[in-house]
Amino acid sequence: MSTATEGTAVNGATMKGLRFAEHGGPETLSWDEVPVPVPGPGELLVQVRAFAVNWADLLERAGKYPGAPAPPYVMGHDLTGVVVGRGPDTAGPEDGTRVFGVIPRGGGAAEFAAVPAGQVHPVPGTLDDAQAAGAAGPYFTADAAIVTMGRLEEGEDVLVHAAAGAYGSACVQLCRAYGAGRVIATAGSDEKCARVREAGADTVVNYTTTDFADVVRETTGGRGVPLVLESVGGDVLGRSLDCVSPGGRLVSVGASSGRSSSRFRLHTLFELGISVSGFTLGNWLRDSPELVRPSVARVLDLFENGGATPVVAAVFPASEIAAAHEFLAGRRSAGRTVVTVNPTSRE
């Protein structure tokens, strides 16, 4: 992972970009005056309208994200905005097109961002700016986890962890759209459980009061589920091994708990014949974009046809960026946490 190049401003043009001078809490965040990035070959200049706050952002700010550059640098990975310029020899969406995407190198939490043309896509007309700002990362990741890595077959039961979050809610919607059998989901409060149930999950477990592994065994007659979609890490990952049926799959895409599992048992793999896999969408976008293209096509089609709708938990103005980070860190969000950017008011 590397930060977006801030470059040398054209004619001295500057903008506001979200940075932090040192690792720490939300109080370290500041909107700094930085040069407007100059798009290079294969890059578009996007006037940002909104961006999403991710767990990766929180970990970067705290100094716990592997491979993150040393501060200060402009943050932000998921964004939506309008194409206003391009670098040399750059194809892609025309100027004036509203686009959205996830930018692995960052730089999206700003008034303008220079982005690789292949990492942004025209926004489906069904999505507003808040929905589009946070749609790419969760839905492209969910599709790849379910289809490419998880190899979901029609009628198979699935366990989705943290199903009230951006990635989890995308998983529930896509599992339903792709013909899963029973969708068993976990969430951290009764209110979140109700929302996840409304989104299409068949059985929802409040993991703060109930052992989800017991519920999975009871629901499946002791067999377990063929597919587990995991993004929490720590004890949740360890306990999830008890939920995979013989020959099943577990796909891990992150660790929002910030912890690794201490309970990874090799004999579980041997005896049950299960497979455990993982991936990082950012690495695929940067190094193997061909792996992501099928997911992009499927997700865009679902958005266009109303088969999936991004869930937005809260929208904050740029002036309340610290509150947006605190909101996500407090695990209060059911869906995406989005920050709006208004280049004319310079909040």
Please check whether residues 272 and 149 belong to one and the same domain.
yes
Please check whether residues 99 and 150 belong to one and the same domain.
no
Number of structural domains the chain divides into? 2
Compute the CA torsion angle 63, 68, 73, 79 (nearest 10 deg).
-110
pLDDT for the residue numbered 261: 55
Distance (Å, whole) CA 240 – CA 235: 8
Q: What tokens appear for 145 in the block?
A: 């986890």
Please check whether residues 129 and 143 belong to one and the same domain.
no
Please check whether residues 71 and 194 belong to one and the same domain.
no
Residue 158 near residue 225, CB atoms below 8 Å: yes
Please check whether residues 122 and 186 belong to one and the same domain.
no
* Closest CA relative to residue 167, chosen from 137, 146, 201: 137
Distance (Å, whole) CA 308 – CA 160: 16
Q: Is residue 239 part of a domain?
A: yes
Please check whether residues 143 and 270 belong to one and the same domain.
yes
pLDDT for the residue numbered 255: 60
Q: Is residue 305 part of a domain?
A: no
Q: How many helices (H) and strands (E) does the chain have?
A: 11, 15
Please check whether residues 144 and 277 belong to one and the same domain.
yes
pLDDT for the residue numbered 103: 94
Please check whether residues 29 and 127 belong to one and the same domain.
yes
Strand, coil or helix: 140? helix
The owner of tokens 């790419």 is 136
Is the pTM of the predicted complex or chain greater than 0.85? yes
Q: Is residue 1 part of a domain?
A: no
CATH number at residue 108: 3.90.180.10
Please check whether residues 159 and 217 belong to one and the same domain.
yes
* Closest CA relative to residue 280, chosen from 118, 114, 167: 167
Q: Is residue 287 part of a domain?
A: no
Q: Is residue 288 part of a domain?
A: no
Please check whether residues 155 and 237 belong to one and the same domain.
yes
Q: Is residue 303 part of a domain?
A: no
- Ranges assigned E (strand) in the chain: 14-20, 29-35, 43-53, 78-86, 98-102, 112-116, 120-122, 158-160, 183-187, 203-206, 225-230, 244-252, 275-278, 312-317, 336-340
Rounded alpha-carbon distances, angstroms, from residue 36 to 108, 292, 343: 12, 29, 12
Please check whether residues 96 and 226 belong to one and the same domain.
no
pLDDT per residue rounded down to tens, the chain (347 residues):
333 344 434 556 999 999 999 999 999 999 999 999 999 999 999 999 999 998 889 999 999 888 889 999 999 999 999 999 999 999 989 999 999 999 999 999 999 999 999 999 999 999 999 999 999 999 999 999 999 999 999 999 999 999 998 899 999 999 999 999 999 999 989 999 999 998 899 999 999 899 999 999 999 999 999 999 998 776 787 888 889 999 999 999 876 655 555 556 666 677 778 888 989 898 999 999 999 999 999 999 999 999 999 989 899 999 999 999 999 988 766 789 999 997 444 43
Q: CA angle, corner 56, sides to 171 and 115, nearest 5?
A: 90
pLDDT for the residue numbered 56: 87
CATH number at residue 225: 3.40.50.720
Please check whether residues 152 and 126 belong to one and the same domain.
no
pLDDT for the residue numbered 6: 40
Q: What is the pLDDT of residues 158-197, one digit of tens each?
A: 999 999 988 999 999 999 999 999 999 999 899 999 999 9
Q: How many percent of the chain have pLDDT more than 70?
A: 90
Domain with 248, as residue range(s), is 137-282
